[in-house]
Every structure is written in structure tokens, then in C-alpha cells.
Amino acid sequence: MKRLSEKAKPYLRVNALIDMIWWLVIASVVTGLALWFDWPGYIIWIAAGVFVLIFIINVIIRPQIFYRVTRYELADEQIIVKKGFILIRTTLIPIKRIQGVELVTGPVSRRYNLSILRAKTASMGIDLPPIAVEEAGELKRQIIDLVKEEISDV
């Protein structure tokens, strides 16, 4: 199975930093309420501690573990993706069930020259981990070629 690009780690960290904005807002609201209503001072410290803990887990630890665990492979008859942080999940989608493939890039992923490939079936889809744009384009073409070759009675 293929590993992720080294560029995936900083990409995941930047995404986690963007997500941390919501946690900062929550911690700020709790701090503001504690000051407004004269709640005990330890509530502010708890809010700050929870924020720091979530920051350490999401921005520092999680991208490192996700990078080490995550793998993907395009086999002859299926797409295999293994990813996770606490729960590691291996997903297989048969090529003959795929109905569409799309390449997704956003501003952060374009900055790191990464994209996410989505393979869709009638009931579900699978997102491959962030991979290089050139590799994702080639993988998309290979999947489309395999789907065209597949004879299905569905």
C-alpha cells in the first residue's frame, strides 16, 4: 500500500489550526461568561486547559499518527483505504460499484499541491487521503479506465 506524501503532515496541521478557531471561540465565550457572571476563577483555567489539550492532540499528535497509519491502494478490482487516529478503519470499494470519481482541492490543499480523490458508489463514497495533485489525476484516470472496462449486471 502507498504512503502519503510528506506534504500531508503540514497540510493536516494547517487544517487542524483552522478547526481550532471554533475551540478558541468556545473557550473565549466560557471565559467571558465566567468574568461577566463572577464565576469561580478555576472555570477560566479549565477552559484554557481544555483548549490547550485539544490543541496538542489535534495539531501536534493527530497529524503525525494519521500520517503513519494512512495508506491507500488501487488494486485490480477494488480501492483500499486504511486511515484513522484512534479507530483505524480499512475500507474496500469494488471497482464495479463505482459510479463517479471527483478530484477535490481547496485553498489549503492547493498551497501544498495536494488533492483529495473521492470515489462514489450508489450508497456511499470513499475519500482517499490527501495525495499529490499529479498522482491524484493519474489515479482518477486509472479508476475511470477500470470502471469503463468493468462489465456489470447491476
pLDDT at 70: 95
For the stretch 22-49, pLDDT in tens is 999 999 999 999 999 999 999 999 999 9
- pLDDT digits over 111-122, tens only? 999 999 999 998
Q: Is the pLDDT of residue 150 over 80?
A: no
In the chain, list all ranges with CATH 2.30.29. Answer: 72-149
114 SS3 class: strand
CATH fold group of domain 72-149: PH-domain like (2.30.29)
